[in-house]
Amino acid sequence: MKRFADIHLRVPLKDVRQAEKMIQKASELGYSTIGIPFPPNTTREQVNQLQQICNNEKIDFVSRTNLSPRNSSELLHELRRYRKKFEIIAVRCNTKDVARQAAKDRRVDLLQFSVTNLRQRFFDEQEAELASQALSALEIELAPILQLTSFSRIRLLSRLRKEAATAQRAKVPIMLSSGATNQMLMRSPRDYASYTIIFDLPLPFALKALSESPLSAVERNREKMSPDYVAPGIRVVGRKTCD
């Protein structure tokens, strides 16, 4: 049975009861894994609280943060500081400088671009080439598309068609997520996958973008965060203890 992930469920961190309802609904909709975004400076207690709710619902919890650096230097500083704290790191690329640096940095999992300001969408052939070499993925959030007015939605879908085609040509992974901030915007994995037809993403590819692609990224990062990890393919299998 295929396992699905919503790698960006934006639950209200200050409203635990509402967050719990959204997590419960995610389980009912068929998700086995959810990624919850936290501020970079969040406390361990806050993360543990949401993780426990996920455990109670038998959902695999993934800690995530969204970085919004002003320039590439700030991005590098934040990656050094927070990479080992979260299982998934997304970068909102508000400038081309940040977009290019994020695409070529192996510490970045997801590339995010503005939904409302198309001038801040920098996913072109050059960006895709850099991302293909660094394992960064293009994240497409689906709930915000549902909220756009007709004209804004048409313009965004036109851009997404081009970006999805560019990503597929360069073999850049695409990850679909909800980006939902409330229960009304949440949909089942197959419902979300069916929406991608409107920007020409084939259904099998869309289903992979909600399952294998995010799950493999989480697994890869968890391995790297393990104390036994040395390098890709190299792990410590036994530790010598001193009497």
Q: Which pLDDT score, from 0 to 100, does residue 89 have?
A: 98
Domain ranges of the chain: 4-221
CA 187, 9, 52, 224 torsion: positive or negative?
positive
| For range 215-231, the mean pLDDT | 81
Work out the percent of the chain whose per-residue pLDDT is above 90.
86
Exposed (0-12), middle (13-18) or buried (19+): which is 129, by Cβ within 10 Å?
Answer: middle
The 10s digit of each residue's pLDDT in 21-53 is 999 999 999 999 999 999 999 999 999 999 999
pLDDT, average across residues 191-203: 93
Question: 37: Cβ–Cβ under 8 A, 6 or more apart, which residues?
Answer: 8, 10, 64, 65, 66, 90
Q: What is the pLDDT of residue 230?
A: 46
3-state secondary structure of 221: helix
The mean pLDDT of 138-149, rounded to a whole number, is 92
Contact by Cβ (8 Å): 24, 54: no
Rounded to two decimals, the pTM is: 0.90
Q: 49-87: per-residue pLDDT in tens? A: 999 999 999 999 999 999 999 999 999 999 999 999 999
Which CATH class for the 4-221 domain? Answer: alpha beta
